[in-house]
Amino acid sequence: MRVKVWGCRGSLAVPGADTVRYGGNTSCVSVRGSDGEVLVLDAGTGMRPLGIELAAEGVKVIHVLLSHLHLDHLQGLGFFRPLFNEDTEVHIWGPASPVLPLQERIATYLSPPLFPVRLADIPARVTFHDAPEEPIVIGGLSVRASLVTHQGPTVGYRVEEGDRSVVYLPDHEPGLGVDVALQPTDWLSGYELTNRADVLLHDAQYGDDEYPGHIGWGHSAIGLVVAFAQKADVGQLVLFHHDPGHTDVEMEALVDEARRLWGPADDRVCCAWDGMVIDLDAGGVTLERLPPVA
């Protein structure tokens, strides 16, 4: 399968001269299976260019897997071109809520005055599903979700093809109130989902010096995500959900710090950027480790 990052910024899109290298779009990642399956992880602003590509290819079945409904993970949905083609079948998966069904929560955004088109008037055939706690099969891909620590109902996803696995945890604070290194794994948010994944894309919003002012906001600091990834024995950690206030220069410093904290084999840590490609197949994991020079 091929994983491509279309947006990896947290909270708010931040285009501009200071974010050219790592990108300014909010969370959106495509996973394309070897048999042509198309999954889309989150619907942030990076979903707009992905939609242009999928529409041009004429892809007719798309599964959109939402981690949660914060606007930085949903805002691109109304600009996703395949939704405006009546021949397209779009399945939208997201965390269950005791308050409102997924469809009604999304309709809150896709309706006036926030958006000119009502969800009910979208031409594509759209079906809503609760995120699967037991594995479901989509073509040759296996997908499952798990509730994790963030603000409001939030899930992470694990996608597998053959022996390869990628885990997506864009908004996650596993260390809330606990020491990740000391916490029993049974009680550590996201651990079971992440355990021994080949690739982990994980919230890395804060530098360790910024975290004390943001405890409980639902996000991770660099030290926390490194400890979590090592505890879960992942093959490759990809820092994700970058703070909108972090410039490209500050991003480089955070990656350096993450590598230092990782210790030996520090090439198992890298940082997502808009356009990053990760290939997973029987031969292993192939990825570009550095963004092109702007």
Which residues 39-68 are close enough to bind Zn ion by CB under 5 A? none
Of the candidates 66, 68, 72, the one whose C-alpha atom is nearest the C-alpha of residue 93 is: 66
User: 70 or 164, CB closer to Zn ion?
Assistant: 70
| DSSP H or E stretch at residue 230 | helix 222-231
171 contacts Zn ion (rule: CB under 5 A): yes
- Coil, helix or strand for 255? helix
CA distance linking residue 79 with residue 102, whole number of Å: 19
Q: Pull the structure tokens for residue 265.
A: 């084999």
Question: Residue with CB nearest Zn ion?
Answer: 70
To the nearest whole angstrom, how small is the minimum distance from the Cβ of residue 148 to Zn ion? 11
CB 106 within 8 A of CB 68: no
- CB nearer to Zn ion: give 161 or 171: 171
Please say which residue, 82 or 156, places its beta carbon nearer to Zn ion: 156
Q: Which of 13, 37, 66, 72 binds Zn ion (CB under 5 A)?
A: 72
Stretch that binds Zn ion, among 16-24, 69-77, 82-90, 182-190 (CB under 5 A): 69-77
Cβ-based nearer residue to Zn ion, 28 or 278: 28
Residues 281, 164: contact at Cβ < 8 Å? yes
- Do 12 and 26 form a contact (C-beta atoms < 8 A)? yes
Which residue, 88 or 146, has its beta carbon nearer to Zn ion?
146
1-to-38, 219, 277 alpha-carbon distances in Å: 10, 28, 11
Phi and psi angles of residue 126, each rounded to the nearest 5 degrees, phi first: -110, 130
Q: How far is the CB of 62 from Zn ion (least distance, A)?
A: 21
Compute how many residues bind Zn ion; rule: CB under 5 A: 4
Rg (CA), the chain: 18
Binding mask 3-42 for Zn ion (x = CB under 5 A): -------x--------------------------------
Please say which residue, 11 or 30, places its beta carbon nearer to Zn ion: 11
| Binding region for Zn ion (CB under 5 A) out of 49-57, 72-80, 194-202, 250-258 | 72-80
CA distance 37 to 207: 36
Bridge partner residues of 286 (DSSP):
279
Residues forming contacts to Zn ion in the complex (CB under 5 A) are: 10, 70, 72, 171
